[in-house]
Every structure is written in C-alpha cells, then in structure tokens.
Amino acid sequence: MIPRYTRQEMGHVWSDGNKLAKWLEVELAATETLAEAGQVPKDAAATIRARAKIEVTRIHELEARVKHDVIAFTMAVGESIADPAAARWLHYGMTSNDVVDTAQALQIRDASKLIERALVTFGEILDLRAHQFRYTPQIGRTHGIHAEPITFGLKIANWFAENQRNIARFRDAAAQMAVGKISGAVGTGSHLGPEMEERICKHLGLSVAPVASQVIQRDRHAQYLSALALIAATLEKIALEIRHLQRTEVREAEEPFSGEQRGSSAMPHKRNPVTCEQICGLARLVRTNMLAAFENVGLWHERDISHSSVERVILPDSTILVDYMLSKMTAVIGQMRVFPERMMRNLESTHGLVYSGQLLQDLVEKGMSRDDAYKAVQENAMAAWESDTSFHDRVSNDARIAKYLDSKALAHTFDLQRQLRYVDAIFDRVFGAHPAGEKFAAGSAGKH
C-alpha cells in the first residue's frame, strides 16, 4: 500500500523486516521446542537463538539468485549463525509453508489487535455523539425524500450498533486466523508429528490447524477479508450519509474543516466532504480484495502457489486501509459539525407533510375506512406540496377529516414529541438502560 494511507504501527506489521522477523520467530520456536523434546541438540538450539539474525538486503540478494524466498531466508540466517554444525538444525523437519503460513498468522494477529483497538475507539466516539444528539430532531428520509421525524442521535445509534456487530464479526474472523501448521509438505505431519506441531504452535501463542494440506485452508482468509470488507462498508455508509447531509441544500452536518484547509483551487468558498469521499473510494478497494480472497480458496490438490502473490497484496493492503479508514472516520465523527436549527428548519419545510402517516393512522383508529382515509390525506398532502402551503391548515378545513378529528386531536397528530416518544426505549436497547433522571431537552444539543 502506498505511504499516503499507511499508518506507522500497521505499516511496521507488514514491513519486509517484520515479516522476516516473524519467519525467524517460527524457526526459533520450532528449534527450541524440538530441542526440549530431544530431537535437536540443545546446544545447537541455543547457538541458533543467540546468533541468528535477519539481514533483509542479503536475503533479497540470495532470492534474486535462487528464486525462492524461504530458501534465501534460510541461507542468509544460516550464514549469520556462522556455525555449520548448529545451522544444519535450522528449518529441521519443516516445509516452506510451515514457516510462511504460521508467521503470517502472527502478522495478522498483530494487525488484528490494531484494528480491534480502532473499532472499539470508534464505537466510543459513536456512543458519545449518539447521546449528545439523542433528542435532536431531524427529518428521516426514505428514497432521499422526507418521510417522518427521527433524531440525529438515533441515526448515530444505528451506526454504533452496526459497529458493535463488526467488532463481534472481526473478533471471530481474527480468531479463525490465529492458527499455525507445522505438518509438512502435504499436511500428514510425517516428519515431526502432530504432538510437536501442537507444542510449536503453543510456543507461539497460536492454536493448531486441526488438519491442513501444505497450507492452512484459505476459507479462513476469505472470512477475515469479508469481516474487513464489512467494516469498510459500514464506514462507507456513514461517510455517504455525511456527504448527503453536507450538501448545500441540506447542510445539517459537515465533516471538520481545518483553519488553513482549502476546498478548491478555483472557488474559495468551497468546503467539500473530501475525507468522506476518500473513505467511500477506499471501501471499493477493500471489497475488491475480498473477492480475490474468495478466489484463493480453491487451489490445486494439496497446494499450488496461485494464492501467494494475491495475499502479498490483499492482506497488507486491506488491513492498512481499514486501519486508516477507522482513524479518519473516528476523527470525522468526533469533530463533525452538527446544525440542529437547520435540521428543524428542514423538518418543518414541508409544512407538516411529515405527519401524514400519523394522520392516516389516527383517522383509521377513529373509525374511518383505511381507503377513504388514505384518499383524504393524500389529496390534501398533494395539494399542500404543489402549492407550498400548510398541510395542517388544509386537513383542519377538510370536512371528511374534521368528522373524526377535532382541533385538539389534530394537535396531537401533529405533535413532534409524540413521534419521538420511544427514543429512550430504543437507546436503552442499544446502549443499555440509562441512569434514572438522565434527560436532555429536545434540540438542546445546539450547534457543534
């Protein structure tokens, strides 16, 4: 992944130096475990531990000659040991993918810790802002058209709940990836045996794949990339919503805009949602990588190499991108400007049309047939919409409706707080019951 999207900690996880260090970690764990079992001389294992070094440049030089990265690695490490009698026990009983797949599990474990930490932090910001705007009225939109009132806090609560599901899915997928294999060229364990395999993996803090071919089966990787793609999809969904809310005609919320930031080289007035647009674009890459992971599941017989080149791209790139996207979206949500007054103005801009559904229900409840009620409400709604006049005034003067609902009943129909009376109950389901007496006045969040 290009440096533009690579944060330092995640970049280190996927650096050549760290990858090769993980390979060495697997080799050392194997040698020491075998030494404990009496299968490798203990003095050889101690020498390997003391002297084995990673020299990235030398490994690359050797790989250019031998055309095999693991062989180049073992040759270079063997040189660093500088003791042929000890070095001959390096990589004893192992095949290349015993090292590569097991070390990859260690890298993914480290990458997953960073992503899980970022997901939890993102959830905390969503929790904070959802409660901040719990009672801030906003018009809900379906098909992009005004529907019925919601609160901005409820919108964010939806994002929070989805993020919680992402955390659960990601933890499960990361656990599925935290497995190693030291079972040889076709998975039979014929050189070291299942007991040594389990002990080596335990030494590394990994579970052992119960059965493998020459490689750990790639359905695990497909699940992991799917979890990353779902995280990216959630971030895209939130970013897309903010982009819509930032449109000039809407302007209910906007992503942060720093003091010296400039939006356009030609139009100084521009404040564009560039970070949210960036997130929407990067989500496409993560989704595409998920498809490649699914293509990797089917390999020839006990293994071919077609998956390897793909994973050199999709695993680093996807974790790097999701890490970057989570960081960016956490900052956007945390510093997002919100305009409750504009939200209320937009809600009221259709002069009460957003209460048509409640009016229909109230008329039916009072005894009017549903079809007659629908016709009466729709006729008044269409007329109010076309003429940009008060829907409330029109239905108040419609004899068909007045027969069932007097002015007091209509005031109840057009009561905003009635529409929002279950906000606390929904919040309790999402966040847990709030403390007794905790309350905010509707719309009190002000401008942020």
Active-site residues: which are they? 143, 264
**Measuring CA to CA, how many Å separate 218 from each of 118, 166, 252, 290?**
26, 21, 45, 12
**How many Cβ atoms from other residues are within 10 Å of residue 294's Cβ?**
15
363-381 exposure pattern, b = at least 16 Cβ within 10 A, e = fewer = bbeeebeeeebeebbeebb
Question: Tokens 């998975």, residue?
Answer: 187
Go through the chain and tell me how many residues it has.
448
Q: How far apart are CA 429 and CA 75, in angstroms?
A: 59
Q: How far apart are CA 268 and CA 318, in angstroms?
A: 35
**Measuring CA to CA, how many Å separate 169 from each of 30, 153, 180, 223?**
32, 24, 21, 9
**How many Cβ atoms from other residues are within 10 Å of residue 421's Cβ?**
10
**Alpha helix (H) residue ranges in 37-91:** 42-51, 56-66, 69-81, 84-87
The residue among 27, 59, 56 whose CA lies nearest residue 44 is 27
Contacts of 437 by beta carbon, 8 Å cutoff, 6+ apart: none
- Three-class HEC string of 156-189: HHHHHHHHHHHHHHHHHHHHHHCEECCCCCCCCC
Beta strands in 336-448 (DSSP E): 337-338
Kindly state the DSSP code that residue 29 receives in the 8-state scheme. Answer: H
Question: Tokens 């790639």, residue?
Answer: 218
Q: How far apart are CA 442 and CA 348, in angstroms?
A: 15
Kindly state the DSSP code that residue 268 receives in the 8-state scheme. Answer: T
Q: How far apart are CA 220 and CA 383, in angstroms?
A: 58
Q: Which strand (E) or helix (H) includes residue 384?
A: helix 370-387
**Are 187 and 212 a contacting pair, CB within 8 Å?**
yes
**Are 32 and 89 a contacting pair, CB within 8 Å?**
no
